[in-house]
Structure 1
Amino acid sequence: MIKLVALDLDNTLLTNDKKISQVNELALKKLTATGVKVVLCTGRPINAIWHYIEQLGLTGADDYTITFNGALVINNTSREVLAKQGLTKTDLVPLHDFCKANGFPMDILDFDQVYPVTDLVKSIYTLGGGIKFAPMTFDELPDHLYAKVVAAQKPEELDQMIATLTPELHEKYHIARSQPHILEFLSSTTDKSVGLHALLQHFGWDESNLMAFGDAENDAGMLKAASVGVAMANAIPEITALTNYHTGTNEEDGVAEFVDQYFKLN
């Protein structure tokens, strides 16, 4: 029995202009009214998506969000941390060395702000929600835990970066392309599925109770783990191939289409 529905945001729940459509909003509110938990799963911090949380009414005492692609599971209202993992500054040294040697950018995110690394080429990374950007050199970075690293550049430049990545980097980090212009580096044990597993355990459930929707590489883990993993029609081919469940595009209210049919909401 599905008790928790996990939703990627960009190109899944959100339209191309970064909005939750009225159709999707209504379907998800109907779903939560039946007692099924709806959980947003994103690479962003919670402050950057708070308007979506409010729009869907996910502000109850037991509502949570999976942020930083699984590095942080946080209560929406109390901001109590349920699960947390990440990368130390020492962990980031090989990636910084690689970016410096090959002319690639780095934006390093802790759980509060973004550190554009100024001794590397300039990034095109942006993030809403009033998140602070604190540019500094790698040597100036505080020695504490970081959620992830983002390499943001034009898609064709990112293609070159991906082609240049070494086996050692693939072994050290969980690397996923979350958008055509964004490549993300997480700890090797960080994934949306890991954050969801912690949340399911918190509620006394497991992956047999999980439905997940996604479209991109950073959604692969949760789609494979879920009892019902749903690929959007606009998903990359690798994601489409992961699951037997498919729905319309993010522009066609694909999330609402699937939940309405599966849960017989209409």
Structure 2
Amino acid sequence: MIALDLDNTLLNSEKKISETNTKALKQLHKQGKAIVLCTGRPINAIWDWLTQLGLMDENDYSVNFNGSLVIHNVDKKPLMSDGMKRDHFAYLHEFCAAHQYPLDILDFNGVYPINDLPLSGYEKRLGGNMHFLHIPFAKMPDASYSKAVICTDPGVLDQIVANMPEQLTKEFHIVRSQPMILEFLKPGIDKGSALDVLLKHFGWTRDNLMTFGDAQNDLEMLASAGVGVAMANGTAEAKRTANRETDLDNNHDGVADFLTSYFVKEE
């Protein structure tokens, strides 16, 4: 199983999967490797990339919302979903209101930008194929939610991380997925735990797993894989956690370069 983060890993700076990366992954998929995209986005927001890579066979799955959902690509049926109720976010909302931070809360279909707080940059950054419903926190429906996001200036996020209230660290698994995005997940939920569910489904172990990532939200899957590969452009923390590193960055087909070298040597 080859599991890949998207932003700054498989995607280049233009948010595209290059032809070189596409060709390498399609070839490995054809040879029987399971190719799994692991992302903070819902499946509708990655549909074009799944189609581009041809990941529409009966045994093709994706990890969404940074591990809250494992989904069957073809029919979009969940293999696993693990969310939180609205009340779980009450103190986080109070914290954001007190400091005038933006907040977006995601269920398993779309995004709720909380409009009794300052406007977030999340919708502008992610955009296409995602449903956004601007709503006050008090009027959010009684549903199951995958995560919350504070999307704002990196300097502001630095301050939030440095002064994070202890209550929030107890209530959430908090990860910095991008310089401008701080995510609040259910404790115990991450990409690594989601991949464990998928490995068990196939009757495989972590020794059968290769992962690619670049950032804090990839650490668990980098640490748990038999072959955990940090991108050349990845954070120092990602590189310390992984046991391998690409020679090239995400803008120069680092994934394809590593895969070609690894499997040629393996053969």
Task: Give the TM interval when normalised to the shorter protein.
Answer: over 0.9
Distance 1:210 1:80 in 2: 23
Which amino acid letter does the alignment assign opposite residue 141 of structure 1? M
Q: Deviations over 1:130-171 (max 9, x none)?
A: 222111111001122101101101111221222221122112
CA distance in 2, matches of 1:87, 1:104: 21
Deviation at 1:17, TM superposition (A): 0.4
Instruction: Provide the residue aligned with 1:42 in structure 2.
Output: 39
Q: Give the equivalent residue in structure 2 for 1:224.
A: 223
Is structure 2 residue 11 aligned with structure 1 residue 14? yes
Q: Which amino acid aligns with 2:216?
A: E
CA distance in 2: counterparts of 1:18 and 1:113, whole angstroms: 20
Give the alignment's TM-score, normalised by structure 1.
0.96
Counterparts of 2:163 and 2:252, CA distance in 1: 36
* Alignment partner, residue 105 of structure 2: 108
Task: Please state how far the C-alpha of 1:263 moved relative to its aligned partner.
Answer: 1.1
Structure with the higher fraction of residues in helix conformation: 2
RMSD over equivalenced CA pairs, Å = 1.2
Matches within 5 A, 1:15-164: 15-126=12-123, 127-164=126-163
Secondary structure at 2:261 match in 1: helix
* Separation of aligned partners in 2, 1:228 and 1:182: 27
Stretch moving more, 162-171 or 249-258: 162-171
Equivalent AA in structure 1 for residue 153 of structure 2: K
Question: Which residue identity does 1:251 align to in structure 2?
Answer: N
Higher relative contact order (CA 8 A, sep 6+): 1
Seq. identity, %: 49
* Alignment partner, residue 238 of structure 2: 239
Q: For 2:69, give the aligned amino acid.
A: L
- Looking at structure 2, the residues matched to 113 and 246 of structure 1 have their Cα atoms a distance apart, in angstroms, of 34
Counterpart in the other structure of 1:252? 252
SS at match of 1:79: coil
C-alpha distance in 2 between matches for 1:128 and 1:52: 15
Q: Aligned letter for 2:256?
A: A
CA distance in structure 2 between the aligned counterparts of 1:188 and 1:83, rounded to whole angstroms: 16
> What one-letter code is carried by the residue in structure 2 that aligns with 1:81?
P
SS in 1 for 2:168: helix
Runs of 4+ in 1 over 4 A off after TM superposition: none
| Unaligned residue ranges in structure 1 (runs of 5+) | none
Q: Is the 8 A contact 1:109 1:147 kept in 2?
A: yes
SS in 2 for 1:171: helix
What secondary structure, in the 3-state scheme, does the structure 2 residue paired with 1:183 have?
A: strand
Deviates more, 1:222-231 or 1:126-135: 126-135
Answering whether residue 264 of structure 2 is matched by residue 264 of structure 1, we say yes
Unaligned 5+ runs, structure 2: none
Q: Name the SS of the counterpart of 1:263 in structure 2.
A: helix
Kept in 2, the 8 Å contact 1:49–1:129? The answer is no
Please state how far the C-alpha of 1:129 moved relative to its aligned partner. 3.3
Cα distance in 2 for partners of 1:6, 1:244 equals 15
Q: CA deviation at 1:128?
A: 3.0
CA deviation digits over 1:3-30, x for unaligned, max 9? Answer: x000000000011000111111111111
Kindly tell me the number of residue pairs found equivalent between the two proteins.
263
